[in-house]
Structure 1
Amino acid sequence: MHLVFGPQGAGKSTHARKLAEAEQAVHLAIDDWMGQLFGPDLPQPLDFGWVMERVARCERRIWLTALAIVRGGGRAVLDLGFMKAASRGRFLALADEHGLSAKLHCVTAPAEIRRQRVSQRNAARGDTFSFEVTPAMFDAMEALFEPATAEELALAAVVATG
C-alpha cells in the first residue's frame, strides 16, 4: 500500500496516478470521493466542520476499500492529502495492525509553483481537477498542512516536482 502526501498543488494526484499505473494498483483519491459524493451539496458559505466530517467518512470508507483490495491480492495508492502527521500516522498504524506494508511518498514543490499549479488546474479543469480551489481556500489549506517529520522523511520516498 502506498500513502501519498504533500501540500496542496505539489503534484500528489499526478504522482499517485503514475504510481498506480506503474504498480498496477488502484488509485483512491479523496478529491474524487468528496467531489462526487458531496460536491453538489457543499454549503455556501463554506462550512469547514461540514467538510471535515465528510472527509472523515470518506477516509473510513476508502480505508476499507483499500484493505479489501490488498487482501484480495491487489495494490492500492491512497491519495488522501494526509495534511496532518497524525493522519499519516493513523493510516500507517492501520496498515501495521492488519499486517500490511505501507510506503510513504512525500511530494513537494515551492509554494509559488504550487499556487500557480492550482490556478492553472482551476482554469484547465483537466484530469486532476475535482473542484475549484479559491485563493482563500489555498491559503487556509496551506496554514493547515504539517510538513513531513524527520521520522516520516526517513521512511518516505521524497518526490520534488518543482
Structure 2
Amino acid sequence: MSTSCSVHLIYGPQGAGKTTHARALAARTGGVRFSIDEWMVTLYGPDLPETPDLAWVLQRVGRCHEQIWSLTRDLLQQGTPVILDLGFMRAEDRRAARQRAEACGAHPTFHFVDAPVGERRARVLRRNEDRGETFSLVVPPALFDFMETQYEPPSPAERAEAHGAAHA
C-alpha cells in the first residue's frame, strides 16, 4: 500500500513529546492529525464534573475514538495520510489500533516517543504554566503519577517495529 494510505500511530508516556511529533509528522506528510486531548477538551471540557471519575472519562474517550476512526476511514479512502495521537497507553490499545488500521485498508506505522520520567514530568508541569502550542489541559502532579501507573511500555518486539521512533 502506498504511503498516502498510511495511518501513523503515535504512542508513549505522557510528556514524552507525542503531540509535537504528531504535528511535525502531519506537516511533513500532508496528513491529518487527531489528538485525543484536543478532542476531549473541546467536546467535554465544559461539562467536566467537579470530581470526574475514570469511568466518566473513559466513556467519553471511547466516543471520541469512534468518531476519529470513522473520519480516519474516510480520509484513508481519499488517499490522505492520518496521524493518530490517541495515547495507545497499553499494549492492547496498540494491538486494537493495528487491527482497526488494517480494517481500513491501511498500513499502520507505529512511532514510539519517549524521554526520561523526570524530564517528562518537568515538561508537563511547565506546559501547565506556559499553556503553549501543545497545551490542552492542566495535568496536576497527582494525575501525572496516576497515568504513569497506567502506561505499559512497549515490548522489545514493539520497539523494534516502531518506525521513526523519536526519543525527545
Which category of TM-score, normalised to the shorter sequence, fits these structures?
A: over 0.9
Match of 1:151 in 2: 157
Cα distance in 1 for residues equivalent to 2:81 and 2:159: 22
Q: How many residues align?
A: 161
Cα distance in 2 for residues equivalent to 1:118 and 1:102: 28
**4+ aligned runs moved over 3 Å, structure 1:** none
Matched residue SS, 1:46: coil
Identity percentage of aligned residues: 45
Q: Which amino acid aligns with 1:58?
A: C
Q: Which amino acid aligns with 2:162?
A: A
Contact 2:30/2:81 (8 A) holds in 1 = yes
Match of 2:139 in 1: 133
Matched residue SS, 1:106: strand
Match of 1:69 in 2: 75
Match of 1:160 in 2: 167
- Structure 1: tracts of 5 or more residues without a match: none
Matched residue SS, 1:10: coil
Alignment pair present for 1:102 and 2:114:
no
- Structure 2: tracts of 5 or more residues without a match: 1-6
- CA deviations on 1:82-117 (whole Å, 9 max, x unpaired) are 111111110101112232101000000000000000
Q: Which amino acid aligns with 1:159?
A: A
Q: Structure 1 length as normaliser, TM-score?
A: 0.97
Alignment pair present for 1:31 and 2:37:
yes
Q: Structure 2 length as normaliser, TM-score?
A: 0.93
**Shift of the alpha carbon at 1:46?**
2.4
